Amino acid sequence: MEALTQEVRRLVETGDEKTRKEVLDALSKLRASIESPDDTVQRITFYNMQLAGIRIGIDLKLFELLAQNEGPHTVDELSQKTGANPVFLARLLRYLASYYAVEEVSKDTFAASRISKTFAVSGFQAAVGHMWNNCGQIIQELPTWLRENNYPDIQDSMKTPFQKALNTDVPAFIYMQQHPEALAYFMEHMMANRAGMPTFLDVYPVEEKAATGLSPKRALFVDIGGGIGHQAVAFKQRYPQLEGRVIVQDLPQTLAHAIQSPGVETQAYDFFTPQVVKGAKFYYLRNIFHDWPDHKCREIIKNTLDAMAPDSALLIDEMVLPNSGVHWQQAQLDMLMMTTLGARERTEEQWYRLVEESGLTISKVYTYTASLRDSIIEVVPTSPAKA
């Protein structure tokens, strides 16, 4: 067994990120193939208890305490620092150690594990806050909601388990704006989730595509629904030499928190209305379409198409799921988008159909992450568009 473990570690240490993911997936598949029915039941039915344990550990600042000092800590020491009852804390720590969230050194003595160090980081704590506080009760409602509604393919953001679970009559985006703590968890989670990962700028040949047709007055890059401007700022910093305006578009309440960066403009805009910037070189939308069902996406595309010049490109930055063999990380996000927004993550086939039905053509797909298949879908007019 030790030799097998060492070989797995060697593969990971000598390989790239794709290899590491493949090893993890292979080990997960192996585990599922050799466990008994009781193993399977125990593993799957207690997943929510594992997340609860992490949530409690975060609330007690347990992971920060362990990570601050590489040495072991006794239960009594941790009890004094957290204020938690020592008998309860010993039970919690033993449970966390059982799935490697902490390391059990000896009786009633614990140290940080790799998982502890992960959840000592604020951004990853926010992921737990978002999934436990914001999404947990909505996911819990999903089976009942589907049964009561005859198992539809949910495509209405106003009629999802979200509304029933939270007893609200507004869509998720409006609800989040009305609940600052929920929004804070979500925003911090989104920022930490992609930290250090490749971006579209690592694969899309911007300079080659922008070799002609630029001018100081023409919009170069319009980030539609761009939030506070992370992508537009990164674009401008990567390509300061390219002529043209760089614009972040979003709703006024979002732009109130926008990053102030030289050469990046902000513009209030609702993407369900006609695009106000005409003839830009690149219209860019990141993780917008996965928030909406097809009929709403077609509205966004039409509003953009009507503004495009013959040499414009629409850059859709989203996951492109394979038509079969979807990775578990992609599949669970698809289920979450359906449950909360009546939306979806799309397969390659679904992307081509959506774009073609909207009067455009996918010229190429540039993929920049391995497991999630985050990609730039480069879309161009099928026929000459209005300038």
DSSP string, 146-199: HHHTTS-----TTSSHHHHHHT-SS-HHHHHHH-HHHHHHHHHHHHHHTTTS--
If asked whether residues 91 and 128 sit together in one domain, one would say no
Which of 147, 171, 193 finishes a domain? 193
Q: What is the pTM of this model?
A: 0.89
Q: Phi and psi for 286 in degrees, rounded to 5?
A: -110, 120
If asked whether residues 43 and 135 sit together in one domain, one would say no
If asked whether residues 189 and 78 sit together in one domain, one would say no
If asked whether residues 111 and 131 sit together in one domain, one would say no
pLDDT, position 41: 96
Output the tens digit of pLDDT for each of the chain's 387 residues. Answer: 889 889 888 988 888 888 888 899 999 999 999 999 999 999 999 999 999 999 999 999 999 999 998 789 999 999 999 999 999 999 999 999 999 999 999 999 999 999 999 999 999 999 999 999 999 999 999 999 999 999 999 999 999 999 999 999 999 988 988 998 888 888 888 877 766 788 999 999 999 999 999 999 999 999 999 999 999 999 999 999 999 999 999 999 889 989 999 999 999 999 999 999 999 999 999 999 999 999 999 999 999 999 999 999 999 999 999 999 999 999 999 999 999 999 999 999 999 999 999 989 999 999 998 878 999 999 998 765 444
If asked whether residues 303 and 373 sit together in one domain, one would say yes
If asked whether residues 217 and 362 sit together in one domain, one would say yes
Whether residue 12 is contained in a domain is answered as: no
Give the domain CATH number at 91: 1.10.10.10
Give the domain CATH number at 284: 3.40.50.150
The CA-CA-CA angle for residues 113, 51, 46, to 5°, reads 110
CA neighbours closer than 13 Å in the CB half-sphere of residue 359: 13
Domain containing 149 equals: 122-193
If asked whether residues 138 and 216 sit together in one domain, one would say no
If asked whether residues 247 and 301 sit together in one domain, one would say yes
Question: Which residues are part of the catalytic machinery?
Answer: 290
Whether residue 20 is contained in a domain is answered as: no
pLDDT, position 182: 87
Whether residue 277 is contained in a domain is answered as: yes
If asked whether residues 205 and 188 sit together in one domain, one would say no
pLDDT, position 383: 61
Whether residue 16 is contained in a domain is answered as: no
pLDDT, position 138: 96
pLDDT, position 311: 94
Whether residue 11 is contained in a domain is answered as: no
SS3 203: coil
If asked whether residues 77 and 134 sit together in one domain, one would say no
If asked whether residues 113 and 132 sit together in one domain, one would say no
Query: Would you state the structure tokens that stand for residue 311, as one six-digit string?
Result: 């040499």
CA dihedral 49, 52, 57, 60 (to 10 degrees): -140
Q: Give 318's strand partners.
A: 375
If asked whether residues 145 and 88 sit together in one domain, one would say no
pLDDT digits (tens, 9 = 90+) for 119-141: 999 999 999 999 999 999 999 99
User: What whole-number distance in Å separates Cα of residue 206 and Cα of residue 119?
Assistant: 37
Which of 164, 193, 222 finishes a domain? 193
Whether residue 305 is contained in a domain is answered as: yes
Whether residue 249 is contained in a domain is answered as: yes
List, in sequence order, every beta strand (DSSP E) within the chain. Answer: 73-74, 102-106, 109-112, 219-224, 245-250, 264-268, 282-286, 313-321, 346-347, 360-367, 374-381
Which of 173, 193, 213 finishes a domain? 193
Q: How many domains does the chain have?
A: 3
Whether residue 387 is contained in a domain is answered as: no
